[in-house]
Amino acid sequence: MKRPDDGILLVDKEAGETSHDVVRKVKTALRCGRRYKIGHAGTLDPFATGLLVVLLGQGTKLSRFIMAGEKEYLATLELGIETDTLDPTGTVTAVRDVPRLSEAHIRDTAKRYEGTIRQTPPVYSAVKHQGARAYKLARKGIAVSLKEREVTVHALSIVSVALPEITMRIRCAGGTYIRSLAADLARDLGPGGRLKTLRRLRSGAFDVACAIQSENILTEANLREMGIPLTKALPGMDEIAVDEALAEKVRQGYQPGWNELIAADDSMHPLKENYVKLVSGQKLLAIIKKSDGGDGHEKVKFERVFS
Given the residues 45, 207, 266, 295, the one annotated as active site:
45
Cα angle 210-216-219, degrees, rounded to a multiple of 5: 125
Neighbouring-strand partners of residue 304: 287
Given a contact cutoff of 8 angstroms between Cβ atoms, the answer to whether 302 and 286 are in contact is: yes
| Phi/psi of residue 73, nearest 5 degrees | -130, 155
Report the distance separating Cα 295 and Cα 288, nearest Å. 20
Residue ranges in the chain assigned as alpha helix (H):
19-30, 63-67, 103-111, 134-139, 178-189, 244-251, 258-264
Report the distance separating Cα 172 and Cα 199, nearest Å. 13
State yes or no: is 243 an active-site residue: no
Q: Where are the beta strands (DSSP E) in 193-272?
A: 193-203, 206-207, 212-213, 228-229, 238-241
The residue count for the chain: 307
Counting Cα atoms < 13 Å in the Cβ hemisphere of 269 gives 4
Directed axis angle between helix 178-189 and helix 103-111, to 10°? 130
Sign of CA dihedral 182, 186, 192, 197: negative
The residues, any chain, with a CB within 8 Å of residue 149's CB and separated by 6 or more, are 118, 119, 120, 121, 175
25: closest CA among 288, 216, 298? 216
The catalytic residue positions are: 45
